[in-house]
Amino acid sequence: MARRRRRGPTAMLGPTDTIGEVAVIAGAPQPATVTAASPLRLMVIGRRELLGLLKAVPSLGHHLLRGMAERLGKAGGTRNVAPRASEPEMGKKGCR
């Protein structure tokens, strides 16, 4: 399964991969369009059901978080969170 943007595929997904979990958890619309590259079976899980599963099966939450972190890293979405020289450090006077 491939996630596509206007410029073409942005990701190839395989068995056990997920898409849209952030939108489901946040209760927001899913901004991606997905096109299957081959026949597939998929499962659609609503917000209430997903939240119940996450509570009942903590390892599922770990799996989803790991997948989201990997995709974020591949998309270049990670950033250096160390304070810049011009920014006050957490807990020091002047930091809000």
pTM tops 0.85, yes or no: no
Strands annotated E in the chain: 2-5, 8-12, 33-35
How many domains does the chain divide into? Answer: 1
Residue 12 lies in a domain: yes
Residue 87 lies in a domain: no
CA 18 to chain centroid, in Å, comes to 9
Using an 8 Å Cβ cutoff, are 18 and 64 in contact? yes
Residue 95 lies in a domain: no
Using an 8 Å Cβ cutoff, are 9 and 2 in contact? yes
Residue 44 lies in a domain: yes
Residue 92 lies in a domain: no
Strands 33-35 and 2-5, by their bridges, are antiparallel
Q: How do residues 22-78 score in pLDDT, each as one tens digit? A: 898 888 888 778 888 889 888 889 999 999 999 999 999 999 999 888 888 877 755
Using an 8 Å Cβ cutoff, are 2 and 34 in contact? yes
Residue 14 lies in a domain: yes
Residue 16 lies in a domain: yes
Domain that holds residue 41: 2-74
